[in-house]
């Protein structure tokens, strides 16, 4: 049976099972921490741990399906030094079958897709895992602590976004002291400690990203700890929005 919009009616046994799972889960444990955004979030494994046993109790299973072969794209770009950089990106598309002992239901419009850089075999598993997480989060209305897109640190340019996540060449401690990087370190540390809100902190992280990521690893870890502590002092993202 379908409604006027072409949406197939979900079998009652599946609706009852989903509602039973929703009613049993208050929140998902948040074991991961996003350093740039300064917030804790639930990983895919956290979600599995919260709902898998309940799925078994109510007799519901959700199976991922790869709806199409990954679309692989080769991207070539010349960096600021004139060197050609090559990367591969893939689009992955997954659908989900919901089933109980009595019924099976599938709608391709509930599928999830992701476009992600291919860094090795683990990328394929990561893509499936991420799509499953987003599907379960949406279907079960799970509070996972993930920050909304407009609350995450973003740069207006691709170069700026790359700088946010690092990837540049690091200096040694000795060379950093010789060229005055220790003064830059103290400036950034002071800026973090005197920031008055989350937005200012994220602005510091973005505008000083090149200097931050080029520092010796031990110095970077110190700044990261300062950043995390200061971000946590402002409360969670949800608390800040209320």
Residue ranges of domains in the chain = 12-146, 157-241
Q: What is the pTM of this model?
A: 0.58
Confidence of residue 149 (pLDDT cuts 50, 70, 90): very low
**For residue 198, how many C-alpha atoms fall within 13 Å in the half-sphere facing its CB?**
20
Identify the pLDDT of residue 242: 39
User: Greater confidence, 81 or 235?
Assistant: 81
Q: What is the 3-state secondary structure (H, E, C) of 68-132?
A: CCCEEEEEEEECCCCCEEEEEEEEEEEEEEEECCCCEECCHHHCEEEEEECCCCHHHHHHHHHHH
**In angstroms, rounded to a whole number, what is the distance separating the alpha carbons of residues 64 and 73?**
24
User: Greater confidence, 165 or 60?
Assistant: 60
Distance of CA 212 to the CA centre of its chain: 22
Average pLDDT, the chain: 79
**In angstroms, rounded to a whole number, what is the distance separating the alpha carbons of residues 155 and 148?**
15
User: Greater confidence, 105 or 84?
Assistant: 105
- The answer to whether 30 and 145 have CB atoms below 8 angstroms apart is yes
Count of all residues that appear for the chain in the document: 242
51, exposed or middle or buried, with CB in 10 Å at 0-12, 13-18, 19+? buried
CATH architecture, range 12-146: 2-Layer Sandwich (3.30)
* pLDDT for residue 191 is more than 50: yes
* pLDDT for residue 222 is more than 80: yes
Which 3 state secondary structure label does DSSP give 17? helix
* pLDDT for residue 159 is more than 70: no
Q: Name the residue among 62, 148, 158 with its Cα closest to residue 110.
A: 62
């Amino acid at each position: 049976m379908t409604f006027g919009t072409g949406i197939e009616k979900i079998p009652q046994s599946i609706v009852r099972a989903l509602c039973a799972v929703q009613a049993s889960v208050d929140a998902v444990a948040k074991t991961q921490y996003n350093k740039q955004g300064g917030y804790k979030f639930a990983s895919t494994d956290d979600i599995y741990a919260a709902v898998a046993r309940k799925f078994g109790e109510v007799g519901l299973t959700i199976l991922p399906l790869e709806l199409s072969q990954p679309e692989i794209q080769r991207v070539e770009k010349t960096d600021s030094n004139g060197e050609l950089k090559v990367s591969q990106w893939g689009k992955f598309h997954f659908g989900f079958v919901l089933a109980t002992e009595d019924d099976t239901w599938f709608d391709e419009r509930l599928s999830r897709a992701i476009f992600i850089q291919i860094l090795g075999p683990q990328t394929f598993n990561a893509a499936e895992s991420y799509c499953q997480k987003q599907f379960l989060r949406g279907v079960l209305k799970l509070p996972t602590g993930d920050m909304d897109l407009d609350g995450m640190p973003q740069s207006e340019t691709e170069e700026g976004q790359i700088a946010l996540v690092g990837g540049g060449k690091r200096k040694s401690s000795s060379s950093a002291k010789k060229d005055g990087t220790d003064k830059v370190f103290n400036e950034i540390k002071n800026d973090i400690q005197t920031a008055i809100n989350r937005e200012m902190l994220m602005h510091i992280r973005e505008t000083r990203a090149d200097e931050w990521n080029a520092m010796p690893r031990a110095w970077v870890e110190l700044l990261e700890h300062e950043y995390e502590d200061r971000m946590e002092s402002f409360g969670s993202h949800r608390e800040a929005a209320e």
